[in-house]
Amino acid sequence: MERNLQIKELFLKKFDKPVTELKFKNLYELIVCVMLSAQCTDKRVNLITPNLFKAYPDIKSLANANLSSLKSYIQSCSFFNNKAQNLIKMAKAVCENFNGEIPLNEKDLKSLAGVGQKTAHVVLIEWCGANFMAVDTHVFRVSHRLNLSKAKTPEATEEDLTRIFKDNLNYLHQAMVLFGRYTCKAKKPLCKECFLSHLCTSKDKEI
């Protein structure tokens, strides 16, 4: 427990109230960015979205989008065929079921096409500062390397992290994303530069 608390405190100290690297101006742009970022880099999403949001500036225009036209804007994104279909379905559902207002609770967000638990949590973390953990590939890898979880799924890993950390989950989520992206990388982690090296016993550790 003491070690876990140390890890938590070091994350919060090292990353001072971190936010996502996705670029967005409003809630509509945020949910689209987060949906596009699944299994795709934030850097790639940020290259796609300026032209995308010029073409579809709001939820209504996205709901009425032509599928093949939408695909042409996001074709450099992984799984763009599925994502294009889900984006239109999501926008239609927001217009039909929520009067054009993107809902800000987990249950309603998860009712939208293409929005799973992770996406819903990231939207609520970034827009509302909600006390949620969201587990992407970076958070999954970091939490397992630091022995914070042995769970096999992102959902179960999220439960472990929520139980261990309890609060400041929004900042801890983003800190772990950035830490996994730039320091605790999948290949060739930068262990010599790592501020958690003294607490890490991972077999992937490179000294």
Q: Do 33 and 8 lie in a common domain? A: no
89 is catalytic: no
**Count of alpha carbons within 13 Å of 40, Cβ hemisphere only?**
23
Last residue within a domain, chosen from 95, 128, 161: 128
pLDDT surpassing 80 at residue 194: yes
Candidate list 16, 118, 166, 204, residue with the active-site label: 118
Range of the domain at 170: 2-18+132-199
Q: What angle do CA 52, 111, 49 make, to 5 degrees?
A: 10
Q: Which of 83, 86, 59, 60 is nearest to 73 (CA)?
A: 83
Give the dihedral sign, CA 185/186/191/192: negative
CB neighbours (10 Å) of residue 50?
A: 9
Q: Do 65 and 138 lie in a common domain? A: no
136 is catalytic: yes
Q: Do 114 and 145 lie in a common domain? A: no
Q: Do 106 and 170 lie in a common domain? A: no
Give the pLDDT confidence of 47-91 residue by residue, as tens digits: 999 999 999 999 999 999 999 999 999 999 999 999 999 999 999
pTM of the shown model? 0.92
d(CA 62, CA 35): 14
Domain membership of residue 195 (yes or no) is yes
Candidate list 14, 83, 136, 205, residue with the active-site label: 136
Q: Do 111 and 171 lie in a common domain? A: no
